[in-house]
Amino acid sequence: MSGLRILVCVKRVPAPGAQITLTPDARAVDARNLAFTTSPHEECAVEAALQLVEAHGGDITVLTVGPPEAEEQLRFSVSVGVQHAVLVSNDEMAAGDDPDPQATARTIADTVRTLEAEGDPFDVLLFGNESADSGGFQVGVRVARMLGIPIVNGIKGIDLADGVLTARREGDAGFEVYRMALPAAVGVKEGINLPRYPTLPGRLRSKKAEVRSIASTTEPGGLTMVRFATPTVELSETVLLGAGASAAAAVVDLLGELGLA
């Protein structure tokens, strides 16, 4: 084997503060003062890919389906060490419409077939467990199903030896361990690693990197977004019971109220 060929799928998402403000039509997040980032689980997927390639050799392609601005997230992946970047977009996405999980999965599967037809097949497909904004939990599973390869989700540990990928998932009672023959897909969960930051030369290199652009021709899926709603937030209040030893009585009272004394 001349090295692994890994595909990581990432999504551009807003990076809001504690309170998310919507646009007046409630169909988008008001992003005037927001940055966009790579969905956190996927940042970990990129890092996992980098570590696999560092251990076993090979190269990484990062792919996103989204608006042209998602090029920023692709270049970020390049700045930390990814070799190839592919942006799949169309006019609807450029206008801000987020494709539904069905359409996204179909687009990714079609693109994988296109890329594989041009060269070697991918050994590993990495997804984030779910996106930070719409949180559909579907894309990775659908793509794997469409491509006929195995997938496990919620993964917080990946090892590779002798063509077998071992994935670890935290369960209530301990770890579940999965072994899959390649090619295989994994839905990665935050916590699997600590993603690296770009170096200065990395950032500068990423500016010059080629991002391949592919037009998406996929039909829309079955889900349509109507509008967002902001859930009522339960306001919590912090009460300072006191400082030092003088707070002891108040603490005892409180524990009593809570039935713990």
Q: Which residues bind other proteins (CB under 8 A)?
A: 15-21, 32-35, 196-201, 203-204, 207
Shortest distance, position 38 Cβ to other proteins, whole Å: 14
Q: How far is the CB of 64 from other proteins (least distance, A)?
A: 17
Tokens encoding 85 = 């970047």
Q: In what order do the strands lie in the sheet with 124-128?
A: 175-181, 164-170, 151-161, 184-188, 124-128, 4-10, 58-65, 84-89, 211-215
Q: How far is the CB of 15 from other proteins (least distance, A)?
A: 5
Which distant-in-sequence residues (6+ apart) come within 8 Å of 235 by Cβ?
Answer: none
Residue placing its CB nearer to other proteins in the complex, 22 or 182 = 22
Any residues with CB less than 8 A from the CB of 2 and at least 6 apart, and which? Answer: 57, 58
CA distances from 142 to 10, 27, 100, 102, 168 (A): 15, 26, 12, 7, 21
- Report how far residue 21's alpha carbon sits from residue 222's, in angstroms, rounded to the nearest whole number: 27
Query: Would you say 25 or 207 has its CB closer to other proteins?
Result: 207
Q: Decide whether 32 or 246 has the Cβ nearer to other proteins.
A: 32
Residue with smaller CB distance to other proteins, 100 or 190: 190
Least distance to other proteins, CB of residue 228, Å: 15
Which one, 75 or 142, has the nearer CB to other proteins? Answer: 75
Judged by beta carbon, residue 168 or residue 203, the one nearer other proteins is: 203
What is the distance between the alpha carbons of residues 124 and 163, in angstroms, rounded to a whole number?
11
Residue 5 region, left (φ>0) first, then alpha (ψ -120 to 50), else beta? beta
Q: Which of the 8 DSSP states describes residue 235?
A: P
- 37 vs 111, which CB is nearer to other proteins? 37
d(C-alpha 46, C-alpha 149), whole Å: 20
